[in-house]
Amino acid sequence: LSQDLGREPNRSELAEELDVTPQEVADAGSAYGSFSPTSLDQPVNADGASHLSDLLPDDDTDAHASEARLLLAPALRKLSDRDRRILYLRYCEDRTQQEIGEDIGVTQMQVSRTLTRILRDLRTELEVA
């Protein structure tokens, strides 16, 4: 089209030639270069102290957490509902042993002993796996 016109075509001319709308030509133009990767060394702030790579998550941490969940899930399923509830209250809701005891109707000491037993059983189960 540039050769036929003797100049660069405008958006309307391109749209007519391609049988698309001018907006589609604009969208295609704005997508140009979007498939070029950005350097991980690109600064992300004005002083250049931080780079794009600094913002990426640590894959090792994610991999270890995923592996731990995969290993732990079958062991947790073997626990009683009460034991799972105690673990949930302690580690998901961050409740104290006293609060857990009040919730399930036992003393803080019983919660402590129960948690010790549950964790010991989980460790044993994971060592076998």
- Dig out the tokens for 68 from the structure: 């731990």
For the beta carbon of residue 53, count every other beta carbon within 10 angstroms. 11
CATH number corresponding to 59-128: 1.10.10.10
Q: Across all residues in the chain, what is the average pLDDT? A: 86
pLDDT tier, 129 (very low <50, low <70, confident <90, very high otherwise): low
- pTM of the full structure: 0.51
Contacts of 29 (CB under 8 A, 6+ apart): 11
Domain boundaries, the chain: 11-55, 59-128
In this structure, are residues 1 and 14 in contact, taking their beta carbons and an 8 Å threshold? yes
* Cα 23 from Cα 11, distance rounded (Å): 9
pLDDT digits (tens, 9 = 90+) for 5-24: 899 999 899 999 999 999 99
pLDDT, tens digit, 9 for 90 and up, residues 26-63? 888 877 766 666 777 877 777 777 777 777 766 666 67
Give 19: exposed, middle or buried? Use CB within 10 Å, 0-12, 13-18, 19+. exposed
At residue 115, does pLDDT exceed 90? yes
Mean pLDDT of 104-129: 92
